[in-house]
Structure formats: structure tokens, C-alpha cells
Structure 1
Amino acid sequence: MQKPIKEQKMIIIILLSNIFIPFLGIGLIIPVMPSFINIMDLSGQTMGYLVAVFAVTQLLVSPIAGRFVDQFGRKKMIIIGLFLFGVSELIFGLGTHVSVLYVSRMLGGVCAALIMPGVTAYIADVTSIKERSKAMGYMSAAISTGFIIGPGIGGFIAEYGIRMPFYFAAAIAFLACIISIFILKEPLTKEQLAEISANSKRSNILRDFKKSLHPSYFIAFVIVFVLAFGLSAYETVFSLFSDHKFGFTPKDIAVIITISSIFGVLVQLFLFGKMVDTLGEKKLIQICLVVGTILAVASAVVSSFLMVLIVASIIFLAFDLLRPALTTYLSRAAGKEQGFVAGMNSTYTSLGNIVGPALGGMLFDVNIHYPYLFAAVIMFLGFGLTFIWKVSLAEVDADTIKIG
């Protein structure tokens, strides 16, 4: 079913919309959360737990979701994920007790665990090796764009009611679910799914983790963790750091994040594919890690608004290029095990998203510069690991990897 991207624009657009919508939904609720906290009389600690339970649920479900994507098909998991996302947003909007909010966030974690590997595997199935990096760049741009425009749309919708952004997110998720049911087709035949399913049934979570330690995957998965850790730690303290050190207003911070994000999206859309063709995934990953390390340190010493904007724009770009470069490499290495690789990708991302903000917050309380410096150390260690990453794509045959 592999065809040039230009010959299957509708399918690609629907897939990108399906990954865009959950991240748009997350962004939609950002402007209303302070008011929502006041209405529900919630503490900051409770809100932290609500964020954590999403990441923990995604972490626990991701390995299973990856196997389900290989066993039951990409389309089914995408549709179930979108439906659950709609339900989770609806529950959050209707919730009047904190226990209901926890249920909503747990469902949201399940949704993320299903949609991410489902869309990633589907794109890998329908694109050629040559065009896969471009498609993965589009997917990463869709994620970033959801984050960018979500808060703005959410702020506008909130004028009609503090719970309206949640209802809107639920509505577009259900709409995307219905469209996907009728337009998307399973990219693999029943015979192909049966073959992959037979292999998946002999697997389990522990074996999946063990398989992720194989040289073809392990360094890439570690760097996935490094990326998630560095980005989440950096983003978690960015607004606090900017406020404490520079006295930036919320508007100043919003301008920096918006400009940085738009810059990253444009580069992903128009230059990422060419950069991979010219440099290759590994070299691009190394460059991004070096740039991230240097600019994480620079973030602790710059002082003017313009310099903060420039540093933030470039470091966010490095993170934005790392994600699709790693995803492209892993999809090439995966062979027919796209679901497994996409699921473990989500797992290692979740680990980074859990550990990064927690350590970042703890270090910030000690010294406001420490989160950036520690993130720089982690990224530099990730860069060092790439030098023992000796398995070339030409040597990788994921179908022959048998572990356990």
C-alpha cells in the first residue's frame, strides 16, 4: 500500500488530523485551568497529580498498545483512541468531583498510548523509506501546531463558558473518529496482521522491554528518553524561570513560546526531509543534541528578552527536529514491527515526561539555574551514547530480531 505522499493526500491529512486533535485538545484547556482550579477548589498539588496520572497511565499502557496495534490493526486502535479522548474530555468538562477528573486523565493517558503508535505505524506502512522522513516531519509539525494554536482557541471558546473548551475538544474528537471509520482503511492485509499477531502473542511486556535493549533499538530509545526528559524539564521551569529571573509577564512568555513553536513548525514542514536526506538521521540527531546542550547552558546566562527569544527558538527547534529524526530511524529499523517500536517509543517518552518535570521542579527549588544545567548534562550524555551507536540502517533487519 506504499504510494507517494502526493497520491494519498487525503489519508495523510486524516492521519495528521488524528494526531493533531489530542494535542489541540490539551492546548485548548490551558487558558481555563486557573479558573477551573478555583471553581473546583483544587490545590496546586492536586493539579500536579492530575498531570502525573496522565503520564503514568500512558507509560503503563504504551507497551500493550503497541502490541495491540500490531495484533488488531492500526485503524482500530486510532479509532478507539479518538473515541476515548472524546470521552475523557467530556468527563472532565462535566466533572464536579476530583475523582472524576482522575478518571478523565487516566482515559486521556490510554488515548495517547493508542493514538501515537497507531498513527506512527500507519504512516510507516503507507510511505516509502525515501519519503518516510518527510511524513514523520509532518506528524511532528502537527503535534507542535496543536500545542501552538490550542491555547488561543481555548481562550476564545472560554468566553462562552469555562467548560466549553472541554466540550469542544470532545466534539472534534468524536467527529475525527467518525471520519476515520468511513475513510481510513487498514493498511495491512488480514494475512499480514495474522503473521504479526502470531509473533506478538509470543511476546509480553517484559519481553518487549528486553527487545528494546537490542542494539538496533536501544540507543535510539535512550535518546527518546533524553529528548522527553530535556524538553519536559526545560518547558516545566521556563515560565517560572522567566518570571523569577527576568520578571517577564505572561504575555512576554506567550510571545516567546509562540514564536519559537511557529519557527519549529516551519522548519519541520519545509526543511526536515531535506536535512535528513543530506545529513542522515544519526548525524542530525547528534547535531540537535549538541545544540540543545550548548543552549541549555546559555539559557542560564542570557539576560535580554531578544536573547532569550533567540535561544528558546533554537533549542525548541533542536527538540522539534530530534523527535521526527528518532521516529524515522526507529520506523526504518522496525520492519513489520511498527506497533512494537511505536509503543516503546511512547513508553520511553512517558518515562522522560514523568522524570523530567519532577526533577526539574525539585532542582528549581534549590537553584533556578540547575534545571537547565542538569538538562544540558543529560543531553550531553545522550550525545556521547551516539558514538557507540554503530548499527547502520543497512544492517538492520527487525524481522530477524528474536529475543527471549
Structure 2
Amino acid sequence: MKKNIKDQKMVFIILLSNLFIAFLGIGLIMPVMPSFMNIMHLSGKTMGYLVAVFAVAQLLMSPLAGRWVDRYGRKKTIITGLFLFGVSELIFGLGTNVSVLYISRVLGGFSAAFIMPGVTAYVADITSVQERSKAMGYISAAISTGFIIGPGIGGFIAEYSVRMPFFFAAFIAFLACISSLFILKEPLTKELLTEISAHTKPNFVSDLKRSLNPLYFIAFIIVFVLAFGLSAYETIFSLFSDHKFGYTSQDIAAIITISSIFGVVVQIFMFGRMVDILGEKKLIQICLITGAILAVVSTVVSSFLAILAVTCFIFLAFDLLRPALTTFLSKVAGKEQGFVAGMNSTYTSLGNIVGPAMGGILFDVNIHYPYLFAAVIMVIGLSITVIWREKQLAENSDEY
């Protein structure tokens, strides 16, 4: 099944479209959430809980979903995730009380837990080790592009109705689900899936214990650091910009959009080459160093252009760190792509839960503390990479 990316254009287009649509759906509802909050008479506390419920649901489902990727196949898991995502958005759009919204967010978290490991494992199965980094760069770019375009489309659609973006997200999710059903083919045979699943049983506790294996754990810790740092930075950025500089929502949106586009362009055209030259470990270390330094610099710059430049490069560091880690993990995973992809999602969820919460707490103490704390976390992550076993990684890559 391992062919050049060029020979599998349609498969890659469908896989990347699935991720793009999922994150487009998440992004396009952002502009309408304040209006939706007012219509439903929801408190800020409730909105925060709705965000947390999504991450918690993803956290709990991720290890099980990762196992299902190895047991039932990549295609079935992806289709299940897309269907759940469509149902989640449809329920949220139709919801008239808080209980229904919570159900929607739980289903949304489950859908994310299915889609990400399914797509990551599928891509790892059909690409050679040499092209893996390039493929993972495309995956990260698809995610980032969905986030970039989403808010703009959501704002436009919301002109017709505040609930319309949710219905649109549901529609494109069901469309992606149907196209995947007919176009994608399971990359692994039933015999190979049976062989892989026979060696492992879905157990959250045992999976967490296995993730402590030094070969995996260091990368998983950095996955957590990435999710923690990025979610804390993004959560606090708008508040920080408003409190310190008095920026308008248009100013903040412009900075985030330009920074995100910059990151996507570099990912698409340069990520594969950077991995070839530096290797995953060095690239990850450079990204952590850059992120830590720029997190501190964020607290001292004041001009709009300086803030834009800092934000562009800190977003780029995070955008390069994500696919570099995913590539590394896919290489050490061997045949257990589902397990590793599932635990990758688990540690991401942990970071997405703890990051915004810690950032908010520190922000109330001092608006600079979240960035300084994020810098400290990234330095700790950098120090952990020093003990990476590169020889062991090479051996696993050769076996796979």
C-alpha cells in the first residue's frame, strides 16, 4: 500500500478534506458564540464548561478510539468520527436548553477522538518513512487552514441566522462522511488488523501505563507541552491584547489570521525539507527554544508590527512542532499506529484542559504570568528531549 503521495492524490485529498472540514466546523462557530450565548442566556462560566466538556470527552475516548483504529480499521473509525461530528453540530444548532448543548459537546469530543487517530494512522500506513514528514506537514496544514477559514465563513453565514453555521457544519460533515464511505479503502487487511488487535486489549489504564515507555513518553510529554502552551497562548491572547493594548476584535483577528497563514505556507512548502535537513529531534528542540523565547518577548513588545512579528513566529514554532512530533511518533509506533495516535490525542486533550484553566488563573494574578509560565513549561520540555534515544528510533523506523 505504500506509494508516493503523488500516486495517491485522491486518497490524500479525501483524508485532508476530512480534517479540514472537522476543524473548519469548529472554527466557523467561533464568531457566533457570543451571540448564541446571549440568545440562550448563558453565563461565561457555562461557556467555559462547554469548552471543557469537549476536551474531557475527547480525553476519555481517545485511548479507546485509538484501539478501535487498530481493531476495526482506519476507514470505519474516520467515518464514525465524521458522523458523530455532524450529529454534534446538528444537535447544538437545534438545542434550546443547556443539557442538550452538553450532550452535543460530548459527542463533539468523541468525534475528535475518532477522526484524528484514524486519519493519522491511515496516512502512516500508506506512506513510506521517507515521505512521512511531508504527509504529516500536510495534515497539520489542513487543520490550521480549517481554523483560519472557519471564522470568516461562520461570520458570513451568521448573517442569515445565528444557528445557521452549526447546520452548515453538520451538512459538510455528513458530506465528508458519505464521500469517505465510497472513496476510501481500508489500508490494512482483516488478517493484519486481527493480528494487531490480538496483542492488545482496549484498557485506558494499561494504555496510559504503556505510554510511559521512554520511547513514547518523552514525545507524549512534549505533545502535552505543545497543547498546553498553544491553548494557553491562544486563550489568553485576545484578553491580553485587549487589556494591555486596547486592541479591537478586528485587530486581534488580523494578527491571528496573518500568523496562521504564515504558518500554513511554511508547513506546506518547507516542513518536509526542514525535517530532512535537521531531523525530527532537532526541529522539535528548535521550536521549543523559539517558543520559550518568544513567549517571554510577548510580555515586553508594544508596537503592533512587533506583536504581529512575534505572534507569526510563535505560531510557526507551534505549527512545525505538531507535525514533527506526529511524524516521530508514527515512526516509533511500528504496527501500533492506532494506539500511538490515540494516546497522542489523549495527551493533547490533557494539555487543552489544563492549559486554558492555568492560563486563566495566572492571568487574574498578572497578565504576563501565563506567557512566562508557558515559557518555563517549554524549557522543561526542551530539557526532556535531551534524553531521547535516537538509535532506538532508527531501529524502529528500519523495522517498519
TM class by smaller structure:
over 0.9
Q: Distance in 2 between matches of 1:398 and 1:58?
A: 32
- Residue 21 of structure 2 aligns to a residue whose secondary structure is helix
Counterpart CA distance in 2 for 1:235 and 1:158 is: 23
SS at match of 1:216: helix
Which residue of structure 2 lines up, in the alignment, with residue 58 of structure 1? 58
Match of 1:168 in 2: 168
2:24 corresponds in structure 1 to 24
Counterpart mapping for 1:296-311 below 5 A = 296-311=295-310
Distance 1:364 1:124 in 2: 39
Provide the residue aligned with 1:223 in structure 2. Answer: 222
The amino acid of 2:384's aligned partner reads L
What SS does the aligned partner of 2:250 have?
helix
**TM-score normalised to structure 1 length:** 0.97
Q: Secondary structure at the match of 2:199?
A: helix
Write the letter of the residue equivalent to 1:245. Answer: K
Provide the C-alpha distance between the structure 1 equivalents of 2:369 and 2:326, rounded to a whole number of angstroms: 29
Give 1:200 shift: 2.2
Counterpart CA distance in 1 for 2:249 and 2:324 is 32
Gaps of 5+ in 2: none
Is 1:252 equivalent to 2:284 in the alignment? no
Residue 197 (structure 1) shift = 1.4
- Which residue identity does 1:48 align to in structure 2? G
Structure 2 equivalent of residue 274 of structure 1: 273
Q: Which residue of 1 aligns with 2:159?
A: 159
One-letter code aligned to 2:293: I
**Cα distance in structure 1, aligned partners of 2:342 and 2:389:** 23
The answer for the alignment partner of 1:366 in structure 2 is 365
Quote the offset at 1:396 in angstroms. 2.9
Q: Is the CA contact (8 Å cut-off) linking 1:333 and 1:398 kept in structure 2?
A: no
- For 1:98-247, list aligned pairs within 5 A: 98-201=98-201, 204-247=203-246
Give the Cα separation in 1 of the matches to 2:57 and 2:399: 29
Please provide the CA RMSD for this pair: 1.1
In the aligned structure 2, how far is the partner of 1:2 from the partner of 1:208? 28
Contact 2:129 2:397 in 1 (8 A): no
Give the partner amino acid of 1:171. Answer: F
User: How far apart are the structure 1 equivalents of 2:395 and 2:359?
Assistant: 38
CA deviation digits over 1:208-237, x for unaligned, max 9? Answer: 111111121110000000000000111110
* Contact 2:148-2:261 within 8 A present in 1 as well: yes
- Counterparts of 1:323 and 1:346, CA distance in 2: 12
Instruction: Name the CA distance, whole Å, in 2 between partners of 1:337 and 1:259.
Output: 37
Q: Counterparts of 1:132 and 1:397 in 2: how far apart (Å)? A: 11
- Take 1:205 and 1:101, find their aligned partners in 2: how far apart are those partners? 27
Deviation at 1:22, TM superposition (A): 1.2
Per-residue deviation, 1:46: 0.2
Matched, 1:314 2:313: yes
- Confirm or deny: 8 A CA contact 2:223 2:322 kept in the other structure: yes
Q: 1:204 deviation in Å?
A: 1.9
What is the CA distance between 1:391 and its match in structure 2?
Answer: 3.8
Partner AA of 1:223 in structure 2: I
Once residues 221 and 73 of structure 1 are traced to their aligned partners in structure 2, the CA distance between those partners, rounded to angstroms, is 23
The residue type paired with residue 294 of structure 2 is L
Shift of 1:207: 1.5
Q: Find the counterpart in structure 2 of residue 330 from structure 1.
A: 329
- Partners of 1:215 and 1:391 within 8 A in 2: no
CA distance in 2 between partners of 1:273 and 1:389 (Å): 21
Residue matched to 1:286 = 285
Shift of 1:398: 11
- Unaligned regions of 5+ residues in structure 1, if any? none
Q: C-alpha distance in 1, partners of 2:364/2:214? A: 38
Q: Is the 8 A contact 1:65 1:114 kept in 2?
A: yes
The count of aligned residue pairs is 399
